[in-house]
Amino acid sequence: MDAVVTEEKSEDDAAGSAAASMDEQIRRWAAEARRDGLQLVGEGGLLARMTKLVVESALDGEMDDHLGYSKHDPAGRDGGNSRNGKRTKTVETEAGPVEIAVPRDRDASFEPQMVKKRQRRLGGVENIVISLSAKGLTTGEISAHLREVYGAEVSKQTISTITDRVMDAMADWQSRPLDPVYPVLFLDCVNVKIRDGNVANRPIYVAMGVTVDGTRDILGLWAGEHGDGEGAKYWLRVLAELKNRGMADVCIVVCDGLKGLPDAIAQVWPQALVQGCVVHLLRNSFSYASRKDWPELAKDLKPVYTAPSESAALDRFAEFSDKWEKRYPAIVRLWTNAWAEFVPFLQFDQAIRQVIYTTNAIESVNARIRRAVKARGHFPTEAAALKCVYMAIMSLDPTGTARQRWSNRWKAALNAFEITFDGRLSAART
């Protein structure tokens, strides 16, 4: 055991030393760039040097994994496959052409992943620009960041041209085929400011589906009109687009007061149930109350939305009204007006309720979008706003503990959906 620990520690020390050496080299180049005005992009530029260093280090690491031992390790002297020098190839990057040395092995079984065989192009400054843009930085801020960090100029026009390339990818993403059935479809919106004559708020609608396998997937983005321009006709077009992409059936559509949407859902998916978003209902309730009353309000509302039946929920709501109507009549009116959209929630098994209520999935997406939108302030066009929202979505990490928790809870929900919706999910998979 001690030998294993020592070996692992030695490997960690070596990796740490290599990383420190790489960091030091990059710092030296950055200092050189600031001192001598080294170009950021182009042949011999700073990003080209950095790309070569990082790619070659990664390829050497891949070879270590492939052979099972590191370079100069005595384990490689016992015969079998081993290193067999390197070959050079030039790859095109946004930083310019970069010549890299790709390691080879004697039996030619090494298949590099960082730069695959016959691959001739890598992302360079493009990836940096898109990453910064996805975080909400403007073209001017990105240009200033690159100038400050790397001591080189990249024009705002160049940055805009790079980010415009994502629009082609967005078009493909927005038209990709969808699954035949989704247990749950969430529809929500984020307001953005668009300068079209006058700066005005415009909604960007986000659709997120939960697949039969429990995967949460952003299905599309749509820019709405300012004011009350959306109605059944607008939503019929949006939902028909989803259906034309293959979504033949949806069990539950969760939304929040979107005008004309229930009528459109009834036309496109007649069997779908429309459910008001419980989280939005609670959040809207708190907006009418003093912050000091929030904990008590939350405690008194919980028996309403966790009630085992509609009749029990009505009893609990009557108790809530008796206590709070004099102080907060708007909250009581809010729940009364939303009751018809809230009621479907009460007929479901607890496992289904948990999926519908736990809208953290789309809430976390919207939070990421809002950060990017807030950083930008306003947008010159609808296309610019959609591009920003799309890049924010694409920058989300699809892994993590939240995703694992969702997967763990999905099996119980899947069984409940199968029973509640008469096998519509299994029928779609056969």
- DSSP sequence for 323-379: HHTTT-HHHHHHHHHHHHHHGGGGGS-HHHHHHHH-THHHHHHHHHHHHHHHHH--B
- 310 and 373 share a domain? yes
- 309 and 381 share a domain? yes
Residue 148 belongs to a domain: no
Residue 161 belongs to a domain: no
Exposure of 27 by Cβ count < 10 A (0-12 exposed, 13-18 middle, 19+ buried)? exposed
- 182 and 72 share a domain? no
What tens-digit pLDDT sequence spans the chain (430 residues)? 444 334 434 444 444 454 455 556 556 655 665 555 555 555 656 667 777 776 777 777 778 878 877 777 776 666 678 888 888 888 766 666 778 888 888 888 888 876 777 776 665 556 667 667 766 677 777 778 777 765 556 677 767 766 676 677 788 888 999 999 999 898 888 888 887 767 788 888 889 898 888 888 889 999 887 655 567 788 889 999 999 999 999 999 988 767 788 888 999 999 998 888 887 888 889 999 999 999 999 999 999 988 888 899 999 999 999 999 999 999 999 999 888 888 887 888 888 887 776 555 667 777 888 888 887 778 888 888 888 888 888 776 544 444 555 566 677 888 888 888 887 887 655 5
In the three-class reduction of DSSP (H, G, I as helix; E, B as strand; rest coil), residue 246 is classed as: coil
- 238 and 105 share a domain? no
- 87 and 192 share a domain? no
Q: Are 428 and 180 in contact (CB under 8 A)?
A: yes
Strands 83-93, 249-255: pairing is unpaired
Number of domains in the chain: 2
- 273 and 416 share a domain? yes
Domain endpoint, select from 123, 140, 166:
123
Give the separation between CA 56 and CA 62, rounded to whole angstroms. Answer: 10
Helix axes 382-394, 166-174, angle to 10 degrees: 80
Q: Are 356 and 348 in contact (CB under 8 A)?
A: yes
Q: Residue 52 corresponds to which tokens in the numbers above?
A: 């070569």
Domain containing 186: what range?
Answer: 178-429
Count of other CB atoms within 10 angstroms of residue 156: 14
Residue 150 belongs to a domain: no
Residue entry with tokens 């539950």? 252
- 69 and 216 share a domain? no
Residue 144 belongs to a domain: no
Q: Residue 307 corresponds to which tokens in the numbers above?
A: 């009630």
Q: Would you list the DSSP string of 67-99? A: HTS-TT-GGGGSSSS-EEEEEEEEEEETTEEEE
- 396 and 256 share a domain? yes
What are the backbone angles phi and psi of residue 280, rounded to the nearest 5°? Answer: -65, -40
Residue 115 belongs to a domain: yes
Q: Are 361 and 208 in contact (CB under 8 A)?
A: yes
Domain endpoint, select from 123, 138, 163:
123
Predicted pLDDT of residue 24: 65
Instruction: Please give the model's pTM, rounded to 2 decimal places.
Output: 0.63
Q: Would you list the DSSP string of 249-285? A: EEEEEEESS-TTHHHHHHHH-TTPEEEE-HHHHHHHH
Residue 280 belongs to a domain: yes
Q: Write the DSSP symbol of residue 313.
A: H
Residue 215 belongs to a domain: yes
Residue 228 belongs to a domain: yes
- 246 and 350 share a domain? yes
Give the separation between CA 163 and CA 127, rounded to whole angstroms. Answer: 9
Predicted pLDDT of residue 45: 62
Predicted pLDDT of residue 11: 43
What are the backbone angles phi and psi of residue 181, rounded to the nearest 5°? Answer: -145, 145
Predicted pLDDT of residue 14: 46
- 360 and 212 share a domain? yes
Give the separation between CA 402 and CA 258, rounded to whole angstroms. Answer: 28
Give the separation between CA 348 and CA 415, rounded to whole angstroms. Answer: 12
Predicted pLDDT of residue 325: 92
249 CB-near residues (< 8 Å, 6+ apart): 180, 181, 182, 269, 271, 272, 424, 428
Of 124, 152, 188, 156, whose CA–CA distance to 35 is shortest?
Answer: 152
Count of other CB atoms within 10 angstroms of residue 326: 9
Give the separation between CA 401 and CA 239, rounded to whole angstroms. Answer: 32
Q: Tell me which H or E stretch contains 196.
A: strand 181-196
- 362 and 218 share a domain? yes
